[in-house]
Chain A
């Protein structure tokens, strides 16, 4: 079946460093790629998303890049802060156009002060 692979599963960085999380997807018809942040004990919340007609999108310290040919997309966080510590999930839509998302396994990011 269709799937999304996410790496790494855990990531530890020093405050101020950059963090990169990578995902690959299998459905070539996927056209929407959101990233969610889930803080401990809270619900997942969207932090940035990208559609297949765009190669890169930025929002302050967060950016997402998409390579449709290679079927992978990445989350980049610059100047990390302790409040960036959370679990991050990537996801991709399926071609069925039902709004269904396939999620990656998650990356636990720890930012050390």
Chain B
């Protein structure tokens, strides 16, 4: 069975902290994605990766960075968390131009 997991379901951090969100998939997918989901704005792409060590900016990359050292793992980093980064973060993976499989999401609150 397909599986995408995320390191935390809920996270509370303080302004200025460095935050790591981790995503792991067990399907040997080459593509991995990080989205941010806010009410009324749908799913907005932050960064994606189509191969190990390869990354491309999505629509809203400001304030975020990513790391993909291994094929199964894709990390999202908030270098200095701010209150406007309070959101639901969803990771996904896919093979080619096909279905993206989503993780359960991490609800991040920045105080």
Contact = CB atoms under 8 A, between A and B. Distances in A.
B42 A106 contact: yes
- Which bucket holds chain A's interface residue count? 20 to 34
B87 to A, nearest CB: 15
Contact of A44 (B43, B50, B56, B98): B43
A9 B35 CA distance: 20
A37 to B, nearest CB: 11
- Which bucket holds chain B's interface residue count? 20 to 34
A45 B44 CA distance: 16
A43 B50 CA distance: 22
B36 to A, nearest CB: 11
Given A98-B56, A99-B94, A99-B97, A44 B42 contact: no
A98 B97 CA distance: 7
A2 B31 CA distance: 20
A39 to B, nearest CB: 12
Interface of A: 1, 6, 9, 31-32, 34, 42-46, 49, 89, 93, 97-106
